[in-house]
Amino acid sequence: MISVTDYDYLGIHVPIQPTNIIFRDYNQNTFRPLGKVTVSVRYKNKCEQLELYIVQQFRKAILGRRWIRRLRIDLLELDEQKRILMEENNVKSIEAEQLDNVLSAYSDVLSAYSEVFQEKIGCIPNYTVKLQLRPHVKPCYTKEHTVPYALRDKVEEKLAQLEKDDIIEKINDCDWGSPLVITPQSNDRIRLCADYKVGVNERLVTNVFPIQKVTEVFDSICHSKYFCKLDLFNAYLHLKVDDESSKIQAMTTHKGTFKVKRLNFDNKVAPAEFN
């Protein structure tokens, strides 16, 4: 794809044709191209008729997999050309010995702070979330969904673990209830959520705490030199909720109804409360 500005600059005198294609960017925003053209493209000794999508003027050009495959572009060769260019601009690469030192230090940190890196749910101290209901709303109870037989063992194992960790608690009397939803994760694992869209979210007062956009985050680190990726395990579940809120978040399952004693996933105020 190229922007309409680059399209005009290159002087491609081919009428732009309509297209039904929709693109999604890294912020998960969708956008429609202005159209497409079929152009003759030559790379080294290879020549192909390929589709070129014309997008808005503020978007940058992207070389897609179809062009790479059809033109037999060697990405390793391009990487080598980039490496040579970087060396010519006095940008030094990390030597193998330096890399070994970095990996060794990384292992030392994991060993010294093994508790920090365990996949377990902690608890943020001295902080409790209280869900605010809109005035004059009535509780809503929805029966459980059917759990696929193939996932039943995993679901029951997960429920037992959450109950053991005091994240959920089985109750026999509750006016609130949202059906359990199973969300697949990597490594063949699952996450248990609740479908609060059924009756809870519309009854909650919206939390308007501002959440930073990912583009703002990227802008704030543009002059940084060192980067580290940290993932907080089951992040929302580190926040306690009061007893009334735990009942509002109650989940209905084939094993009964459980009140959720931590801030749960799919709760519409969870992102703002966590931030």
Domain 128-274 has CATH 3.10.10.10: yes
Mean pLDDT for the stretch of residues 169-178: 94
> Computed over its alpha carbons, how large is the radius of gyration of the chain?
26
Q: Which run of H or E residues covers position 142?
A: none
Mapped onto helix, strand or coil, the DSSP state of residue 227 is coil
Q: What is the pTM of this model?
A: 0.60
Contact present, 268 and 236 (Cβ < 8 Å): no
Tokens standing for 162?
Answer: 């959450």
Mean pLDDT for the stretch of residues 90-116: 77
Tell me what pLDDT residue 92 has.
55
CA distance 147 to 155: 8
Any idea where the domains of the chain sit in the sequence? 2-79, 128-274
Short-list 268, 266, 259, CA closest to 240:
259
Q: DSSP E strands: which ranges in the chain?
A: 2-3, 23-24, 30-31, 35-43, 46-55, 128-129, 168-171, 178-184, 190-194, 240-241, 251-253, 256-260
Please check the confidence at residue 95 and state whether its pLDDT lies above 80.
no
Mapped onto helix, strand or coil, the DSSP state of residue 178 is strand
Token pair 């050009």 is found at: 61
Quick: pLDDT tens for 71-89. Answer: 998 888 888 888 787 776 6
CA distance 128 to 181: 25
Mapped onto helix, strand or coil, the DSSP state of residue 221 is coil
Three-point CA angle 274, 219, 29, nearest 5°: 70
Please check the confidence at residue 6 and state whether its pLDDT lies above 70.
yes
Please check the confidence at residue 99 and state whether its pLDDT lies above 80.
no
Contacts of residue 1, defined as CB under 8 A and 6 or more positions apart, other chains included, come to 23, 33, 52, 53, 54, 55, 59, 61, 62, 64
pLDDT category of residue 183 using cuts at 50, 70 and 90: confident
Comparing 25-39, 43-57, 162-176, the range with the smallest average pLDDT is 25-39
Mean pLDDT for the stretch of residues 108-120: 87
Tokens standing for 268?
Answer: 């519409």
Quick: pLDDT tens for 188-212. Answer: 788 898 999 988 999 999 999 988 8
Tell me what pLDDT residue 206 has.
92
